[in-house]
Amino acid sequence: MNDPIRKTSTAALLLFIAVLVAITNIQVFQAPSLNADQRNKRTLYREFDNHRGPIIVDGEEIAYSTESDDDYGFQRIYKPGSLYAPVTGFFSVIVGRSGIERYSNSLLNGSSDSLWLNRIKQLTTGKISQGSSVELTIDAKVQQAAAKALGNQRGAAVAINVKTGAIVAMVSSPTYDPNELASHDRAAVAKKYQELLEEDGSPLTNRAIAGETYPPGSVFKLVTAAAALENDTSVDDLDGGTGFQLPQSTSVISNYGKGACASGGKIDLANALRISCNTAFADLGIRVGADNLLAQARSFGFDESLAIPLPVTSSRFPQTGDQAQTAIAAIGQGSVRVTPLQVAEISATIANGGKRMKPYLVSKVRTPDLQVQSETQPEQLGQPISSATAATLTDMMVSVVESGTGTKAQISGLKVAGKTGTAQTGDDGAPHAWFTGFAPANDPQIAVAVVVENGGSLGSEATGGAVAAPIAAAILKAGVSK
């Protein structure tokens, strides 16, 4: 073989090897990520040929597939669509997937590795490929109560089983109808999706766990109080005056209504929490210190990634040694940001004797022949506070509802523990109205967090006690087993 032929053969062999390596890389190593890519329409077309498993709440299918007489094979249906849309998301041949439809996709479409035996059975029997059913932790009664109480006001509500972490309600407003995105009319779906993207209020965003996080305002005082109690900070002579002068600053923190919290200028922690005294908690924040506040916030879940299995935006607490910023952060303002789920977790942890449980949305997964494929077991994530601190905070939160800022959360025949919040937004808009709490206070079952953006129907006149507390009461009443 002469030299030119040898070089040409070698080059051809190298090119063949390069092509073989590239094909192997794409077909083997990149296949999972390419199949999961939302832009891969071939995967969606193939999935529409499968009998996608249902999403179930309280034994009822809230998302299911029926045979269609077009090229797609099956039509996805959501019933009632808008009520559960923040949780289920949508499954669309045009715009992909979201919510449970996305993050439990391999289970619903039957491609999960755990379903290999089921796929073999379907192949050998000639049956249509079918996915698993996903049973949610949502309680239909509580979900309906939360949606009704929140109404058309922009905001979100979350309710959690305090003992297990199971999420029993999750609503976000405004919402949308996923049936309009599941349609096989490509032009109509594309038009509707664009409208939803441009619509004021971002209805596609699940405000309970994602999107822009919120300043918590005074509901964060539960974390500040917890840090004080855990670190044996002096809490009997807090600043109860008309204003708290921030160190090295000309700014003054005032109380609601610009008045004093105590006639003598001093107030204890229990009464400061009961009436939500800003000056007292600014003082307390500096006494506790930035490092202890940060450690306490993180023990509750701040600055932590979480999936339920939907991804949850991390709540944030600023790292600062500046006393003025620490005082502002201690009352839930400044750079502190939270999701409603994070706030519900704080109350749930207090209600559960200081034990923090991992929140979750999926209860069970069943194969097409209804065998239990997997079942979520409650998981403790930590112990942010002692049982003694939890008991002390519970007593204080009961006083908030009985005779403090949260009286509109009272429920006849039921002892409720809670905390209000009215959070300044920093953009000259009306404040966000918050309430978080749990019931029954003497034997807790359910914890809740409610946020109503920019005061809802009351606007700039809103407070957490006036706007969010009644919503929370409706949810707690629906969720407590008498």
Q: Known catalytic residues?
A: 218
User: Which burial class, exposed, middle or buried, applies to 220 when counting CB atoms under 10 A from its CB (0-12, 13-18, 19+)?
Assistant: buried
Q: In whole angstroms, what is the distance from residue 338 CA to residue 312 CA?
A: 11
Helix (H) or strand (E) holding 96: strand 96-97
Centroid of chain to Cα 229: 27
* DSSP structural state of residue 28: I
Owner of token pair 């300043």: 215
Residue 85 φ/ψ, nearest 5 degrees: -55, -40
Centroid of chain to Cα 402: 28
Q: In whole angstroms, what is the distance from residue 229 CA to residue 227 CA?
A: 6
| Among 281, 322, 301, residue whose Cα is nearest residue 421 | 281
Q: What is the 3-state secondary structure (H, E, C) of 435-475?
A: EEEEECCCCCCEEEEEEEHHHHHHHHHCCHHHHHHHHHHHH
Report the first-to-last Cα separation within the chain, whole angstroms: 92
| Among 346, 276, 347, residue whose Cα is nearest residue 317 | 346
Which tokens go with 396? 């204080």
Helix (H) or strand (E) holding 4: helix 3-24
Owner of token pair 């029926």: 66
